[in-house]
Each structure stands twice: as structure tokens, then as C-alpha cells.
Amino acid sequence: MVTNSETTARPNYFKNLKYDLPASIVVFLVALPLCLGIALASGAPLFSGIIAGIVGGIAVGFVSGSQIGVSGPAAGLAVIVLTAIQDLGTFEIFLLAVVIAGVFQMLLGFAKAGIIGYYFPSSVIKGMLSGIGIIIILKQIPHALGYDKDYEGNLSFAQPDGHNTLSELYYMLDFVSPGAIVIALLSLAILILWEQPFMKKRSFTQIIQGPLVVVVLGILLNLAFQSMPQFALRPDQIVSIPVADSLAGFFGLFTFPDFSQIANPQIYITAMTIAVVASLETLLCVEATDKLDPHKRVTPTNRELKAQGLGNMLSGLVGGLPVTQVIVRSSANIQSGGRTKASAIIHGFILLIAAMSIPHLLNLIPLSSLAAVLFVVGYKLAKPALFKKMYQQGRAQFVPFMVTILGIVFTDLLAGIGMGLVVAIFYLLYNNYKKPYFFYPEKHEEGAPIRFELAEDVTFLNKASILQTLNHLPENSKVIIDATNTVDIDLDVIEIIEDFRENAKYRNIELEIRGLYDEKKSKESVRDFTQLVRNGNGSKDKLALQS
């Protein structure tokens, strides 16, 4: 297993700038509407989403050990934030909970809780990526057609507008906007063109990314359509970032926590909830982005929890939403060619500078242009080739993979992952149940001893299989139980073997046990120890064996 102590060579940030700078622009374009949409869904000031995006990019980017992960406000926390603001009474009190949540996250990092991230099965992580890819596509179809009732960044099946992901595809037909469709189709055509091999050979495509061309085209078409009533875009079909009249007005958009409520116990409950959910989402995203990373680098998860904790402390102090590492922005970064953490950091600076200097220009970007960008991101996450590959790996991989996808599409991210994890654990237990020993019927000769070779690790999960097998052995036979290669065996299994030793006498079974007992112990002493366990006086720890 990879540990957090492992390190990789420090990347050359300046050498990779030609890749990271274009990628940072794409991440900025994807992050901007998501930051605003999540803030809107959270019942928080719109600018709080921008603040969280800036802090997630710059502060978390500098401290994090992830080279391709991008942090910012997460849709998975929107419901928690909305409820917390209502329960606590004011947004300023909620910000104090965000600061304390950051402290809790840093403590989790120092307690090395990041190791939890390594225990999610590969099939579930791949299902998470594909499920998010599918839900991105489904959620962006209404935006591409001009129906923008559901907020940008929502990944849940049930929507705040009373519809769900699938019913939205029906209701959108009554609100089709010709201007939005034209922009979306032209944008998608440009993005597909940019992906073609002959275009990738052109040097200018390495500098000017397709999404940037799409956004510029969208702004120009939006301006052109303003004089054409049938194609003109409505205000809810374009980006809507808060605009300050001056520099002083810009800093006036920041909000500060209400520290007078520091003794309020409800704040600590909210903070712990945010810390746990944000940490879990971050660890899941870290596992997913590491799998997407072309260079297969491994993110130190404990350091990531500390970085996220610092990010949440800073975000809460200046009026931002809670931050996590987020898969949509991270995957957009990877697919755009980002190679180091510089792309995440630069995207944070672009958010800051753009919000200060060109908010009027940003407010001309059509959401249908960004929908086309996210279509490509979603497709790359859920490529049909991945489904074929997972199917070929067998049911133990394919079923948890599909359950995770369906769970994410029809519930939400964490619930879907939980469903996939339960199924993956079922298959793990089932395989443990099936394989506590090795018996080769094709090698067994009539009249020869029946030989069972115990596996290297035999746990209490194997009790039922071993017990059933021993009970069905024929009478008047010779049986060899070979534990020569066994390293760890649970005392529950030793009890079963000891019971079978006694039972074999009455069934005229000649039993030979190899390698089960320490050479320095007599069989009687082991049986005595087993009896102590049965009586509740002994340890239930595994017994390390010597062959």
C-alpha cells in the first residue's frame, strides 16, 4: 500500500507552465458558474462562492500535495450549508462554523485519518467517475437548451425546483431557447473539432484551448443576438457575478464571522458535520483524480486534509463557503493538459483578478457555452470503453461499478458511493467465504487422502464455508488439513478444526493436520487454549502460526 510518507520528485513548475496556463483558463471557465450556482443553492451570498473558489485555488493549491486536484465550493455541501444558515440564524454565525470545521479537518490530518481514502475499492472509484460524467451530461442538457431553473453544479437527482434529473429533460421542452441552442451546438462543434488529431498537431491549439474559443464565441453571439428578439438570451441564461462600483465596493463584498457566538454548541455540531462530509468528499476526489492522472502520482492524503482545513479556516474568515477538492474542476484540469498544481493556483488568481476588474465581461458568458464544455468533460469521464473494460473484468468488478453509477445518478454522490461500497464489500465477503482453502478435485484420485490446503489468511468470515465442507466429508475416508503456508488463522476456525477432530473419531475418518500447531506447543496445550476461548477467558486475537 502507498503511504503518506512516500514522496515524488518535485515538478518543474516553470517548465510545465505552457501546459498549466491554458489548463488554468479552462478550469476558471468551468469553476466560475459552479461557484455562483452552489452559492445560490446554499442560500448564501453569491460572492461567497467566488471567495471559496479563490481560496480553494490559491491557498489550498499552495499547501496541497496534489498536483492536479482543484478545490472550491462543493455541491455535496449545499444542503448542509442551506440548513445550517437557517438553523444558526445568520450567515456570519455560519462562517464561524466554517472556520471551526477547518480546525477539525486539520486535526484529522494530524491524526492521519487520510488513510481512509485508500480503502475505497477501485470499482467504486471508477463508478464514481463514470456516474459523475453521466450526471454532468444529463444536468447540462437543459442549460444547453436554455432552461436554467436548476442551479449550476447540482449533482443530486432531486432538485430544489421540485423536479428531478430525468423530469427536467421533459419540462425543458416547454422553455426551449433558439439562441441558447445555436450557441451550444456551435460550441460543441468547435470542441469536437479541437479534439481531432489533425487539430492537435497545430501549434496554436496547444496555447489556445477550445473552451476559451467557445466562450469568446458565446460572448460575441450573445451580443449579436441582443438585436434579434427571437434569439436574445434572458438574464438567467448568462453568468451573473456580483459587480462592485469601485475597489472599496469590491472588498465590501467580503463578510466576516460573528465570533461572539463562539460558545454556541450548535456551531460545533455544524462544524463537525461540515468537516466530516468535506473530508470524505475530498478523499474520494483524491482517489479519483489520482486514477485520472496520466503520470500516476500519489497524493499524500493526510497533507490534503490539512490543506483543506487551512482552506476552510481562511474561507470562513473572509466570507466564503466551505471548500473541498472537487472532481468536476479536477477532471477538467487533467483533460485540459494541466500537469502541476500551478494550474489550480493560477485559476484562483484568475478568479480574483476577473472578479475585481472585468465582472461586466464575465456577465456576458452564456451558460449554454459552458454546458458544451461540460458535455466534453462528462463524456471523457464516462467513455463507453470503460464500461466494456469493467464488464470484461467480471461481476465482482462490474456490479459494484454499475451500482455506484446508478446510485449517483438516482440519489447523490455520497449515497451512490455508499451503495457501491456495500456491494463491493458483499463481493469481498463472498470471495472470502468461497476461498478459505484450496482443493483440486481434478487431482484427487479415488481412495487417496482428501487434502485441503488452507489459505495464507483464514478469518472468521471463512467459518461457514469450512464448517459446511468438513461436515459433508464422506465417512471412512482419510483427510489432510494442510496449514503449512498459513500465516494467520482466527481462533474461531481453530475451534471448528478441533471439533472436527473429535467428530472424525465417530465417523471413522482418519485425520492428519499439518502445520497448524507451533512446534514448541503440544496439541493438548492448543486445545486447552481453545477451550479457554470457548469459556470466554481467552483472547480472540489471531494466532500467528509457524509452519
Q: Are residues 181 and 291 located together in one domain of the fold?
A: yes
- Last-in-domain residue among 381, 407, 422: 381
- Residue 143 belongs to domain spanning: 25-154+165-381
How far lies 428's CA from each of 127, 400, 434, 442, 522, in Å? 17, 11, 10, 26, 35
What is the pairing mode between strands 543-544 and 488-489? antiparallel
**Distance between CA atoms of 495 and 540, rounded to whole angstroms?**
11
Q: What is the pTM of this model?
A: 0.80
Retrieve residue 70's grid coordinates: 482543484
DSSP secondary structure letter of residue 517: S
Q: Are residues 375 and 444 located together in one domain of the fold?
A: no
The pLDDT tens digits of the residues spanning 184-193 come to 999 999 999 9
Average pLDDT over residues 338-349: 96
Determine the pLDDT at residue 446. 62
Q: Are residues 140 and 65 located together in one domain of the fold?
A: yes
Query: Is the separation of the CB atoms in 36 and 239 below 8 Å?
Result: yes
Q: Are residues 314 and 450 located together in one domain of the fold?
A: no
Determine the pLDDT at residue 161. 82
Q: Which of 203-212, 266-275, 291-300, 334-343 has the lowest mean pLDDT?
A: 203-212
How far lies 188's CA from each of 138, 218, 375, in Å? 15, 11, 8
Q: Are residues 344 and 468 located together in one domain of the fold?
A: no
Q: Are residues 216 and 286 located together in one domain of the fold?
A: yes
Residue 509 or residue 320, greater confidence = 320
Residue 228 dihedral angles phi and psi, to the nearest 5°: -125, 95
- H-helix or E-strand containing 478? strand 478-482
- Last-in-domain residue among 365, 381, 397: 381
Average pLDDT over residues 348-376: 95
Whose grid coordinates read 455540531?
Answer: 269
How far lies 283's CA from each of 220, 394, 414, in Å? 40, 27, 12
Q: Which of 139-143, 434-438, 537-541 has the lowest mean pLDDT?
A: 537-541
Structural domains counted in the chain: 2
Q: Are residues 255 and 139 located together in one domain of the fold?
A: yes
Determine the pLDDT at residue 457. 76
**CATH number, domain at 463?**
3.30.750.24
Q: Is residue 6 part of a domain?
A: no
Q: Are residues 350 and 453 located together in one domain of the fold?
A: no
Q: What is the dihedral of CA 47, 52, 54, 59, to 10 degrees?
A: 150
pLDDT bracket for residue 521 (50, 70, 90): very low
Q: Are residues 236 and 303 located together in one domain of the fold?
A: yes
Taking alpha carbons only, the member of 519, 438, 520, 528 closest to residue 491 is: 528
Determine the pLDDT at residue 447. 65
Retrieve residue 162's grid coordinates: 421540485
Query: Is the separation of the CB atoms in 482 and 540 below 8 Å?
Result: no
Q: What's the mean pLDDT when you consider all of the chain?
A: 87
Q: Which of 126-135, 349-358, 391-400, 440-449 has the lowest mean pLDDT?
A: 440-449
Q: Are residues 321 and 441 located together in one domain of the fold?
A: no
The per-residue DSSP string of 310-325 comes to: HHHHHHHHHTPPPEEE
Query: Is the separation of the CB atoms in 57 and 345 below 8 Å?
Result: yes
Retrieve residue 430's grid coordinates: 463472498
Q: Is residue 390 part of a domain?
A: no
Q: Is residue 410 part of a domain?
A: no
Average pLDDT over residues 344-366: 95
Query: Is the separation of the CB atoms in 257 and 305 below 8 Å?
Result: no
User: SS3 breakdown of the chain: % helix, strand, coil, rounded to 5?
Assistant: 65, 5, 30
The pLDDT tens digits of the residues spanning 227-262 come to 999 999 999 999 999 998 888 889 899 999 999 999
Whose grid coordinates read 490559491?
Answer: 58
pLDDT bracket for residue 6 (50, 70, 90): very low
Residue 8 or residue 333, greater confidence = 333
**Distance between CA atoms of 488 and 511, rounded to whole angstroms?**
22
Q: Are residues 358 and 449 located together in one domain of the fold?
A: no
Q: Is residue 458 part of a domain?
A: yes
Q: Is residue 17 part of a domain?
A: no
Q: Which of 68-77, 91-100, 114-123, 228-237 has the lowest mean pLDDT?
A: 114-123
What is the pairing mode between strands 437-438 and 450-454? antiparallel
The pLDDT tens digits of the residues spanning 40-59 come to 999 999 999 999 999 999 99
Q: Is residue 249 part of a domain?
A: yes
The pLDDT tens digits of the residues spanning 302-338 come to 999 999 999 999 999 999 999 999 999 999 999 999 9
Q: Are residues 365 and 441 located together in one domain of the fold?
A: no
Determine the pLDDT at residue 520. 34
Q: Is residue 376 part of a domain?
A: yes
Task: Report the alpha-carbon angle 328-332-334, nearest 5.
Answer: 120
Instruction: Go through 270-301 and write b for each residue having 16 or more CB atoms within 10 A of its CB, e for each that does not.
Output: bbebbbebbbbbbbbbbbbbbebbeeebbbbb
Q: Is residue 375 part of a domain?
A: yes
Rg (CA), the chain: 29
Residue 436, pLDDT > 90, answer: no
